[in-house]
Amino acid sequence: MKRSKLLLVLTAILVLALSACAAPVAPAGDAGSSDTGSEAAAGGGDATCDDAIGCIEIAPGDPLKVGGMLTISGATAYLGEDSRGGIEIAVNERGQIDGHDITVQIEDSLCSAEGGQTAAQKLAADPTVVGIIGTNCSSSGAAALPIVSSAGMLMISSSNTSPVLTSADTEAGGIWQPGYYRTAHNDLFQGRVAAEFVFNELGATTLATIHDGSPYAESLAAVAADVFTELGGEVTYQGAVNVGDTDMRPILTEVSSNPPDVLYFPFFEPESDFMAAQAKEITGLENTILMSADGSLVDSFPENAGEAAVGMYLSGPYLNPENTAYADFLAKWDEEIGGVPPSGFHAHAYDATNMLLDAVQAVAQESSDGTLLIGRQALRDALTATKDYPGLTGTLSCNETGDCATGEALGIYEVTQAEVDGNWPPPVVYTP
């Protein structure tokens, strides 16, 4: 009696679920077959798909979807929040493309390879996604890229900065694949700006670098050290800690055996909090200037690191607030999301979304029944051809391997007492 009732309920649920799926599944099947180049899929309209790697097909009245691979949970969730705001503002501004609404689907790519893989697989399986904004962390970007690329899709990262992602030179560790773009600056720029600032502006002659083993921090520390040596400075120490370490005193003691003028540790909270707070306690490092990078350019950093952060420098994306477009953007942020962006890559996400939507608009063909056809290769080509694009983060021009930022939107911030007391962002003291 009881069992048969249960069976009945289960069957009912199953039937309901199946019927609910049936409607959206049908066009998905069509889009799949059009990937193989079948022209019948276009449904007898005037536009046909002749793209080398297939088309995205949006049925009449269906929304097109912008995917997002962001860190929504975990320690770097503020980066995801920051980018998500930029994406949403850009999408809301656009409203519709050729009569189709635009929806946003964000998947959590964490700040790890596993997260990037999972998020990419989810979005790559969705035939209505026109393009993906993300990831935030280079480590998840590196894992997501092969999946996105082989699915014929494309991703535009708002905050991946690792140089390997846009290097096609596999012997030098490059992992670029077609379909990868970014509006974030390459670390080769940021590391150089940091080293130039330390050597030219601070007049430092010795530098120590510490990274946390992540590709982001490791490459940034290495580039800064190389450029600093090139400029004529001396690198006294190059070391590393682990993500998750809380006691930085041993490594700081090691650094203090030959105290440098500047200590550069370009990694994330909370490791950067510990590093900044504990550095000042070490005998020999009282006069060492501390410097970190965009990974710690977040409003909670000075509050957590406390007094020790006063006088510290942070390199990172910089936008001139006198730029009226950016001021408008901030006003929109306050209105739609509230407050100020929590980190420095919101404008990059906004630019990335706009570039994607522009490309979609340029490439999309509407067939007579209202179906929208977007060639995947054509979309990539349109993005690669981006030149002198006026974005919030400056003029964007993409090269063959997807580096769209030119490195102009960078600056060095100085943390003062006001930031420790809650002000954000800190004043900018140097721009290249």
Q: What residues contact residue 365 under an 8 Å CB cut-off, 6+ apart? A: 47, 372, 373, 374, 375
The reply to whether 283 sits near another protein by the rule CB under 8 A is yes
For residue 107, the minimal CB distance to another protein (Å) is 17
Whichever of 66 and 275 has its CB closer to another protein, that residue is: 275
Of 29, 99, 101, 126, which Cα lies nearest the Cα of 366?
99
Residue 334 binding another protein, by CB under 8 A: no
Should residue 287 be labelled a site residue for another protein when binding is judged by CB under 8 A?
no
If one asks whether residue 337 binds another protein (CB under 8 A), the answer comes out as no
Tell me the window of 69-77, 98-106, 154-162, 401-409 that interacts with another protein (CB under 8 A): 69-77
Q: Is 253 left (phi over 0), alpha (psi -120 to 50) or beta?
A: alpha
Alpha carbon distance 237, 430 (integer Å): 25
Q: Which stretch binds another protein (CB under 8 A): 150-158, 235-243, 410-418, 421-429?
A: 235-243
- Applying CB under 8 A, among 169, 230, 234, 281 the residue interacting with another protein is 281
Q: Does 288 bind another protein (CB under 8 A)?
A: no
Please state the closest distance from residue 257 (CB atom) to another protein, in A. 5
Please state, in angstroms and as integers, the Cα–Cα distance from residue 78 to each residue in 47, 105, 141, 319, 341, following that order: 43, 18, 17, 19, 9
Distance between CA atoms of residues 260 and 263, nearest Å: 7
Question: Residue 251 interacts with another protein (CB under 8 A)?
Answer: yes
Quickly count: other Cβ atoms within 10 Å of residue 323's Cβ. Answer: 15
Residue type, 50: D
CB-based contact 117:372 (threshold 8 Å) = no
* Nearest approach, Cβ of residue 398 and another protein (Å): 33
Minimal distance in Å, beta carbon 274 to another protein?
5
| 238 near another protein, judged by CB under 8 A | yes
Can residue 205 be called a binding residue for another protein (CB under 8 A)? no
DSSP codes joined into one string, 193-230: HHHHIIIIIS---EEEEEE-SSHHHHHHHHHHHHHHHH
Total binding residues toward another protein, as defined by CB under 8 A:
37
CA proximity to 365, closest of 382, 388, 350: 382
**For binding to another protein (CB under 8 A), which residues are involved?**
73-75, 77-78, 213, 238-242, 244-247, 249-251, 253-254, 256-257, 269-270, 273-274, 277-278, 281-283, 300, 303-307
